[in-house]
Amino acid sequence: MYELVQLTERCCYIESPAKIGLVKLGGDEVCLIDAGNDKDAGRKVRQHLDRNGWKLRAIYNTHSNADHVGGNAYLQKQTGCRIFAPGIEQDITRHPVLEPAFLYGGYPPKELRHKFLMAQPSQAEELTPETLPEGFEIVELPGHFFDMVGFRAPEDVVYLADCLSSRETLEKYRIGFIYDVGAYLETLERVKTMEARLFVPAHAAVTEDIAPLAQYNIDTVLEIAERICALCREPMVFETLLQKLFTDYGLTMNFEQYVLVGSTVRSYLSWLKETGRLSARFEDNQLLWESI
**124-148: average pLDDT:** 98
Per the domain annotation, does 56 fall within a domain?
yes
**Can you give the CATH number for the domain in which 64 is found?**
3.60.15.10
Residues 262 and 149 in one domain: no
Predicted confidence at residue 244, as pLDDT, reads 98
Predicted confidence at residue 13, as pLDDT, reads 98
Instruction: Render pLDDT for 56-88 as a digit per residue (tens, 0 to 9).
Output: 999 999 999 999 999 999 999 999 999 999 999
**Can you give the CATH number for the domain in which 243 is found?**
1.10.10
The Cα 43–Cα 27 span in angstroms is 23
Predicted confidence at residue 211, as pLDDT, reads 98
Domain ends where: 105, 139, 159?
159
φ and ψ at residue 138, rounded to 5 degrees: -80, 135
**213-241: average pLDDT:** 98
**196-218: average pLDDT:** 98
CA dihedral 118, 237, 183, 145 (to 10 degrees): 0
Q: Roughly how many angstroms between the first and final C-alpha of the chain, as a whole number? A: 48
Per the domain annotation, does 225 fall within a domain?
no
123: domain range? 4-159
Domain ends where: 113, 134, 159?
159
Per the domain annotation, does 223 fall within a domain?
no
DSSP output for the chain: ---EEE-SSSEEEE-SSS-EEEEEEETTEEEEE---SSHHHHHHHHHHHHHHT-EEEEEE-S---HHHHTTHHHHHHHH--EEEE-THHHHHHHSTTHHHHHHHTSSPPGGG-STTT-PPP--EEE--GGGSPTT-EEEE-TTSSTT-EEEEETTTEEEEETS---HHHHHHH-----S-HHHHHHHHHHHHT---SEEEETTS--BS--HHHHHHHHHHHHHHHHHHHHHTTS-B-HHHHHHHHHHHTT----HHHHHHHHHHHHHHHHHHHHTTSEEEEEETTEEEEEE-
**126-133: average pLDDT:** 98
Q: Measured in whole angstroms, how far is the alpha carbon of residue 176 from the centre of its chain?
A: 10
Residues 124 and 251 in one domain: no
- Spatial CA neighbour of 67 closest among 25, 106, 118, 139: 118
- Spatial CA neighbour of 273 closest among 225, 234, 204, 203: 225
Q: Which residues pair with 291 in a beta bridge?
A: 278
Residues in the chain: 292
Per the domain annotation, does 218 fall within a domain?
no
Residues 154 and 10 in one domain: yes
Residues 240 and 153 in one domain: no
Predicted confidence at residue 119, as pLDDT, reads 98
Per the domain annotation, does 138 fall within a domain?
yes
Per the domain annotation, does 143 fall within a domain?
yes
Q: Measured in whole angstroms, how far is the alpha carbon of residue 73 from the centre of its chain?
A: 19
173 in Cβ contact with 132 (< 8 Å): no
Q: Which residues pair with 31 in a beta bridge?
A: 23, 58
The Cα 139–Cα 148 span in angstroms is 9
**79-99: average pLDDT:** 98
Band (pLDDT 50/70/90 cuts) for residue 97 is very high
Predicted confidence at residue 81, as pLDDT, reads 98
Q: Measured in whole angstroms, how far is the alpha carbon of residue 79 from the centre of its chain?
A: 25
The Cα 290–Cα 246 span in angstroms is 19
**Chain mean pLDDT for the chain:** 98
Looking at the 3D structure of the chain, how many domains does it have? 2
